[in-house]
Amino acid sequence: MSNSANWTTLTRWTAIVWAVLILIGIALARASGAKAAATTAPSTQPDAVEIGITDFHFVPAEVTIKPGATVTWVNHDDIPHTATADGDSPLFDSKALDTDDKYSFTFTKPGTYPYYCKVHPHMRGKIIVK
């Protein structure tokens, strides 16, 4: 093989190695960019949450939402239930919800809001707004 042929082969392999290294660099840059984007992504807390009332339980019993999010309670039981905030002057207080009735409330301020069913006070839940 001539020196010219050896030089051409060497040049081709060098070009291939550089191309592979460039592709690896691009892939790593994209991966680190995706990781950075994931760490700066907006809150994953929902704008709306549904809480089922099933078998004398609030499901889920505790939810975390952002300010401005709306919680909707849906009664799946055959008997009435309420969703009532704790306290003498409750922040929210549904009427008695019959089967498949819904009640919604929008939480505007951060805080922890325990609630219960006035008909069945052992039924308890909690909304965390942050």
What's the pLDDT at 41?
A: 46
Task: Please tell me whether residue 15 adopts helix, strand or coil conformation.
Answer: helix
Banded model confidence at residue 46, pLDDT cuts 50, 70, 90: confident
In 10 A of CB 95, how many CB atoms? 10
Stretch 33-60: mean pLDDT? 74
User: From residue 73, how far is each of 31, 77, 80 by CA, in Å?
Assistant: 41, 12, 12
Q: State the residue range of the domain holding 14.
A: 1-41
Stretch 63-85: mean pLDDT? 98
- The runs of H, that is alpha helices, within the chain are 3-39
**Paired tokens of 9:** 């082969």
37 and 52 in a single domain? The answer is no
58 and 116 in a single domain? The answer is yes
What's at 13, amino acid-wise?
Answer: W
Instruction: Read off the CATH number of the domain in which 104 is found.
Output: 2.60.40.420
For the chain, what is the domain count? Answer: 2
84 and 36 in a single domain? The answer is no
Residue 101 pLDDT > 80: yes
What's the pLDDT at 69?
A: 98
114 and 62 in a single domain? The answer is yes
52 and 105 in a single domain? The answer is yes
Residue 36 pLDDT > 60: no
61 and 101 in a single domain? The answer is yes
pTM of the model: 0.67
User: From residue 96, how far is each of 12, 42, 73, 118 by CA, in Å?
Assistant: 79, 37, 11, 9
**Paired tokens of 81:** 């239930």
22 and 53 in a single domain? The answer is no
66 and 119 in a single domain? The answer is yes
18 and 65 in a single domain? The answer is no
